[in-house]
Structure 1
Amino acid sequence: MRIIENIISDRGSKYAVSGGACNSEQEAKAFLKALYRKKKFAKATHNTWALLSADAPLKNDDGEAGAGMVILRMLEREALFDHIIVVTRWFGGKHLGGDRFRHVQEAVRIYLQDLHAS
């Protein structure tokens, strides 16, 4: 599991991104369960994720409407199969409007750059 914390801060909201190898919905649930063992992530406002697997694309907005699709599209563009990416947001008290999608995209970009650099 790769976790990159404190990557974006905007109007009090803070973001992190994490990911790892994942082949199925069961593995995605296990990944999230492992992530939630870190109390900080269990208490986050949103843990939005997507997975592009051989069976079918999977995504979950976790209350951040449309964010799962943003992650999924980026996985498709990269042709990154069998890998889950989770964008975590701690709400800071002010609504971000459309900026939240830019932040999700940027978080995924940061993750992908880190993944390709290693």
Structure 2
Amino acid sequence: MIFAGIDLAAREKNITGVAIIEDRRIGVYSLHSDDEIIGKIVEHEPSIIAIDAPMSLEDRRVDIYLRKYGALSLKIPAMQDLAKRGMRIKRILEKRVSCNPREK
């Protein structure tokens, strides 16, 4: 089974970290553009993809709770940018990668 993790940056000018884990091998990549990120994920066809970014523009109860511990509010423009980028990449990956562990 192949796993992918994306530590998404809010803007393409900043580095996004991507990790691909297959068997006991780990590939780590520093990427910028959405196309680079999506291309790397599609290339490896992971069964599971994790994206470290908000997937909503609305604060959830847990977000409000986590602010006590340093989490940033979705009212901050950079966090809104991160959420929008994360949701966009998620939508594209859902169309291009079959993430069903049972199929692989």
TM-score normalised per structure 2: 0.32
TM-score normalised per structure 1: 0.29
**Bigger fraction of residues in strand:** 1
**Bigger radius of gyration:** 2
